[in-house]
Structure 1
Amino acid sequence: MSRTAVTSLLALSALVLTACSSAGGSTGADAGPPRPGGTLRLGISSSPDCVDPQQAGTNASLNVGRQLVDSLTDQDPSTGEIRPWLAEKWESNADSTAFTFHLRDGATFSDNTPVDAAAVKTSFDAVKALGPKATLGSGYLAVYKGTTVVDPKTVKIEFSVPSAQFLQASSTMSLGILAPAAYRKTPDERCQGVGLIGSGPFVFESLKQNQEIVLAKRKGYGWGSSLFKHQGEAYLDKIAYKIVPEPGVRTGSLASAQLDAITDVQPVDEPQFTGNGFTEPTRPNPGIVFNLQANVTRGVLTDEKVRQAVLKGINRPEVTSTVLTPNYKAATSILGSATPFHADLSPLLAYDPAGATSLLESSGWVPGPDGIRTKNGQRLTAKVVFSLVFNQNKSVLELVQQQLRKIGFDLQIEQRTTAESVQITQSGNYEYLWYNTTRADPDILRNLFSTKANNRSKLTADNPVDAPLDAQSSTVDPAKRKPAAEEAQRAIIEHGYSAPVFELTQVLAHGPNAHGVGFEASSRLQLFDAWVSGS
């Protein structure tokens, strides 16, 4: 299918609600037109573990890496539409196993070598060769066969099985293009910025571990994404990422004008940056929402009625209004509302303790002396493993625990380190997993639920989700992909494979001198259009 056909269908599909907002503060109109120059002092919550976008996995790292590389395509945050960037146009074959990209003229890397077909091939081959070091890219290229240089401006990228998800993946910084010379350095060196040569609007300047990362404007840049608000060079001379882990120190530094903007504003701190010259840009993360994913082979979770009762026993609006803030949305599906082909399944996720009680009683679970139900001597209990990748995770789960006690279900909360949680996930030794995963494409469901992929719910081959997940993976045609993605979401909820709770939201704050700090489709920072004004 041609890119033109895909674009027109996407435009008709109303895939994603517009999901960016800001509250209070100085507007661009107040500050006048954008002006070049200056340094954006941006406070971030953790030290990036790697600034090479092809290896990065954390938000902190990706928020740096996005500014250093261009991608073949870009994705419109409002519609999910794939738009031109380094590639002017593209086509895919009928079963989405081959994608041909036609590159624009004039783009160069920061070593002044051209962004041509040979460079694209070298870059994709190198990402594949990184294996698990390519934290996100390895998944996008799991069935990558190779790249063929058709001519200096044309590349053909092929996969061994249908991979419709690759079109969206081509818009990510994880598959951003690096210069061939970059691969003369080791992956570890590139992680530290050594030899990290991209074609992006900024170049790496310096890194002081756990203190600061500085990027500088790429002089002569003139091949920005078609989604950028202006063309030519970036406005900012420099971006200084200041690592400030403590939320109170971060917010205090913004309030006292030691920083121009900060990421990861905590719910308790949001009110102080609403108005008073401050602005709070927000955007919900696309992909899988924070949820309890069930291992259907373990304990009481083998009983589908138990899993369905848990769905009905969670009061999602109470979670967002009590523990979080209005910036966070109650889940309406396993996919967040900013994800292309999100299906609004709110009726299936309505708080219904009476319905939960009916399901449990029909399955033989009766109240015990402490209020927790039992069946043939077995308590109605399951353990959830979680880590503090989001500061409010424990508070959210404690509230969910209280809610589920009301229907006689004992949710036991087990906090682990992030590394321990990863190990437990890989081992399969869990009942419930608590997590979210960001990706602006519904194929993330196939990655985590399909029996042909990670299969976190440990489903059997006769499950109802594999077929629609395979169907959405086999075509880039939205008219065919959308119903398949919706069918998969519905099956996941109806069978209780997951109990979605809330959508993670990125909450930024900036003072009156920072403008144009924006999000790309994966809710990571896009700073090409950012600028600073005088005090």
Structure 2
Amino acid sequence: MAALTASSLAACAGGGSAQEVTGPAQPGGVLRYGLSQAPTCADPAQAGSNQTIYVTRQIVDSLTDQDPATGELTPWLARSWEVSPDATSFTFRLHEGASFSDGTPVTADAVRASFDAIVNTLGGAKAPLGASYLAGYTGTDVIDGHTARVSFSAPNAQFLQASSTSQLGILAPATSGRSAEERCAGDAIVGSGPFVYTDYQQDRSATLAKRDGYAWGSEVFGHDGEAYLDGIEFTVVPESGVRTGSLASDQLDAVSDALPQDAPQIDAAGGRILTTSNPGVPFGFQPNVTAPVVSDPAVRTALVTAIDRQELVDTVLGPDFVPATGTLAHTTPGYTPLGDVTHDPDRARRVLDDAGWREGPDGIREKDGRPLSFGVTFSAVFAGNQAILELVQQQLRQVGVDLRLDLVSTAEQTARQASHDYDTTYYNSTRADGDILRATFGLDGRNLNARGPIPELDEVLAEQLTTVDAGQRAEALARAQQLVLDNGLWVPTVELSQAIGVSAAVQDLRFEASARLQFFDAWLAER
């Protein structure tokens, strides 16, 4: 396995001075982790938020893994694979010694049951990411006990990278046979990962224990054999100040969403902040193009240049974050910067003037008796969301736009997205593959824009699925990124970065390719 060096950890460390620990990793101990939001479900297939995936990633293995440094796909449960020339079938040869935590072996039948359940039992409502990765799925053929061929009705080049995600992690048949609701309880989830659930309390906590005998880790992992930690205790601590205080007072070992104002207290306690940028679609507004006001393309165009993204970073987030420069984050394979994503309020005013939106007596524009006012539905799934949107609200008002903030729970936001009950919805979506554009904006994806056909965009989103050639895919994805912006389907703001506060005791806590935490190599020095 590839060794992970101290220098690679330093490269993803932000503010604070790390305490250097010499000598080999020490097994044992329970890492206490403070989540900023409650996991939504114990099931990896149904996980969407970062806080949920931090938990579920640890208990499920995937067919492949993705090297966070190079983006290269590497073996995990599948020790080798073949892709058909037309990218419609993928044949995986499985590790013959891997087993689930209930003692049953990881087999081709388990692969089939896992994918069949995502498509037939969970579907797009419960597992939107996994269902989008399996779009066009026609089934899995069991070639022999440890060889599975996954097939699609049309070319699906993105599936190979999707096979590295936790949403397509392989679960035991005992789990795959359960309903979506049953699978949200921790005792229903049987994976082959390096940790297992020992307790799961919805909205409160999740407790994991090391899987004894684990010996089939990813080639990206830094060591062979079992995890170093005896266990992980995840506790939900929504208040940023309480999380930081608990870390500084040695009640927690690591915490999510360590914001700039938290850094001095973490540093003073001898800790540090680990950071990395999320690939995928950056934070932004997705307009419902059937809703009043934002159905006007001129309004959507004006919003892009009315927002001062650098001010958002400088005022709210700090130097570990960067402004969005396109419809993909800069760490995404195939990313292309888009020159139209620049702050130019005068241009925004001209676009609105030309479209007939005139400034009213209160400074808010109006047209045909309707004010230029719309809502944004969002949740606090990222701790900085409300402060970001409050500043965007001020920026938009300067060009005559009234933005109404609608803070809801994560569950309510998901439900309202499914029913298109919003003017705009604000979120980000993480994936280390440019196909996230199809999953987010395609007619066969989530299509939260509620749009109809856009032939040029639809064609290029389909085209990038037809080839496994990286250069050809990148060309198609570059066109798709521009077309998403040109059609006003996304108004980007900032790229999400993971900012994890850790105590001096925490060593080798790693980010995987999608910027989620992987605890396999983590260990605890003396507290």
Give the TM-score normalised by structure 2.
0.90
| Amino acid aligned to 1:334 | T
Secondary structure of the structure 2 residue equivalent to 1:229: coil
CA distance, structure 1, for counterparts of residue 409 and residue 215 of structure 2: 44
For the structure 1 residues 50 and 449, does the alpha-carbon distance in structure 2 shift closer, same or farther, using more than 3 Å as the test? closer
CA distance, structure 1, for counterparts of residue 203 and residue 451 of structure 2: 42
In the alignment, is the contact (CA less than 8 A) between 1:336 and 1:342 conserved in 2?
A: yes
For the structure 1 residues 495 and 271, does the alpha-carbon distance in structure 2 shift closer, same or farther, using more than 3 Å as the test? farther
For 2:57, the equivalent position in structure 1 comes to: 66
CA distance, structure 2, for counterparts of residue 517 and residue 41 of structure 1: 13
In the alignment, is the contact (CA less than 8 A) between 1:74 and 1:227 conserved in 2?
A: yes
Secondary structure of the structure 1 residue equivalent to 2:396: helix
For 1:11, the equivalent position in structure 2 comes to: none
CA distance, structure 1, for counterparts of residue 266 and residue 317 of structure 2: 16
For 2:234, the equivalent position in structure 1 comes to: 241
In the alignment, is the contact (CA less than 8 A) between 2:117 and 2:177 conserved in 1?
A: no
Instruction: Report the more deviating stretch, 374-383 or 228-237.
Output: 374-383
For the structure 1 residues 462 and 181, does the alpha-carbon distance in structure 2 shift closer, same or farther, using more than 3 Å as the test? closer
For the structure 1 residues 391 and 38, does the alpha-carbon distance in structure 2 shift closer, same or farther, using more than 3 Å as the test? closer
For 2:167, the equivalent position in structure 1 comes to: 174
CA drift of 1:525 comes to 1.4
CA drift of 1:33 comes to 2.4
Residues 1:390 and 2:382 are matched in the alignment = yes
For 2:17, the equivalent position in structure 1 comes to: 25
CA distance, structure 2, for counterparts of residue 83 and residue 462 of structure 1: 36
For 2:392, the equivalent position in structure 1 comes to: 400
For the structure 1 residues 62 and 365, does the alpha-carbon distance in structure 2 shift closer, same or farther, using more than 3 Å as the test? closer
Secondary structure of the structure 1 residue equivalent to 2:112: helix
In the alignment, is the contact (CA less than 8 A) between 2:40 and 2:202 conserved in 1?
A: no
For the structure 1 residues 40 and 31, does the alpha-carbon distance in structure 2 shift closer, same or farther, using more than 3 Å as the test? farther
CA distance, structure 1, for counterparts of residue 372 and residue 295 of structure 2: 12
For 1:424, the equivalent position in structure 2 comes to: 416
Counterpart of 1:356 (choices 348, 360, 366) is: 348
Counterpart of 1:105 (choices 96, 101, 106) is: 96
In the alignment, is the contact (CA less than 8 A) between 2:334 and 2:478 conserved in 1?
A: yes
**Unpaired runs of 5+ in structure 2?**
1-9
CA distance, structure 1, for counterparts of residue 178 and residue 367 of structure 2: 61
CA drift of 1:217 comes to 1.8
Secondary structure of the structure 1 residue equivalent to 2:319: coil
| Amino acid aligned to 1:130 | T
In the alignment, is the contact (CA less than 8 A) between 2:359 and 2:365 conserved in 1?
A: yes
Secondary structure of the structure 2 residue equivalent to 1:358: helix
Deviation digits for residues 181-234 of structure 1 (CA, Å, limit 9, x no counterpart): 445666555433325332211222233555543222222222110101111221
Secondary structure of the structure 2 residue equivalent to 1:348: coil
For the structure 1 residues 360 and 80, does the alpha-carbon distance in structure 2 shift closer, same or farther, using more than 3 Å as the test? same
For the structure 1 residues 49 and 447, does the alpha-carbon distance in structure 2 shift closer, same or farther, using more than 3 Å as the test? closer
For 1:367, the equivalent position in structure 2 comes to: 359
For 1:499, the equivalent position in structure 2 comes to: 491
For 1:469, the equivalent position in structure 2 comes to: 461
Counterpart of 1:291 (choices 284, 301, 325) is: 284
CA drift of 1:285 comes to 2.2
For 1:6, the equivalent position in structure 2 comes to: none
Counterpart of 1:36 (choices 27, 47, 52) is: 27
Instruction: Report the more deviating stretch, 69-78 or 301-310.
Output: 301-310
| Amino acid aligned to 1:441 | D
CA distance, structure 1, for counterparts of residue 396 and residue 239 of structure 2: 33
| Amino acid aligned to 1:147 | T
Query: Identity over aligned residues, as a percent?
Result: 48
Residues 1:155 and 2:112 are matched in the alignment = no
Counting only pairs closer than 5 Å after superposition, residues 122-521 of structure 1 correspond to structure 2 as 122-131=113-122, 132-134=125-127, 136-183=129-176, 188-194=181-187, 196-208=189-201, 211-274=204-267, 276-345=269-338, 347-521=339-513
For 1:81, the equivalent position in structure 2 comes to: 72
Secondary structure of the structure 2 residue equivalent to 1:233: coil
| Amino acid aligned to 2:164 | S
For the structure 1 residues 91 and 279, does the alpha-carbon distance in structure 2 shift closer, same or farther, using more than 3 Å as the test? same
CA distance, structure 1, for counterparts of residue 77 and residue 17 of structure 2: 35
CA drift of 1:317 comes to 0.4
CA drift of 1:264 comes to 2.5
| Amino acid aligned to 2:471 | A
CA drift of 1:377 comes to 4.1
CA drift of 1:147 comes to 0.6
CA distance, structure 2, for counterparts of residue 413 and residue 205 of structure 1: 39
| Amino acid aligned to 1:34 | A
Instruction: Report the more deviating stretch, 122-131 or 234-243.
Output: 122-131
CA drift of 1:293 comes to 1.8
In the alignment, is the contact (CA less than 8 A) between 1:51 and 1:62 conserved in 2?
A: no
For the structure 1 residues 61 and 454, does the alpha-carbon distance in structure 2 shift closer, same or farther, using more than 3 Å as the test? closer
CA distance, structure 1, for counterparts of residue 417 and residue 230 of structure 2: 43
In the alignment, is the contact (CA less than 8 A) between 1:25 and 1:275 conserved in 2?
A: no
CA distance, structure 2, for counterparts of residue 86 and residue 294 of structure 1: 39
Instruction: Report the more deviating stretch, 385-394 or 398-407.
Output: 385-394
When the two chains are superposed, the root-mean-square deviation of aligned CA atoms in Å is 2.5
- Matched pairs, number: 516
CA distance, structure 1, for counterparts of residue 278 and residue 53 of structure 2: 14
CA distance, structure 1, for counterparts of residue 200 and residue 214 of structure 2: 23
For the structure 1 residues 126 and 21, does the alpha-carbon distance in structure 2 shift closer, same or farther, using more than 3 Å as the test? same
| Amino acid aligned to 2:365 | R
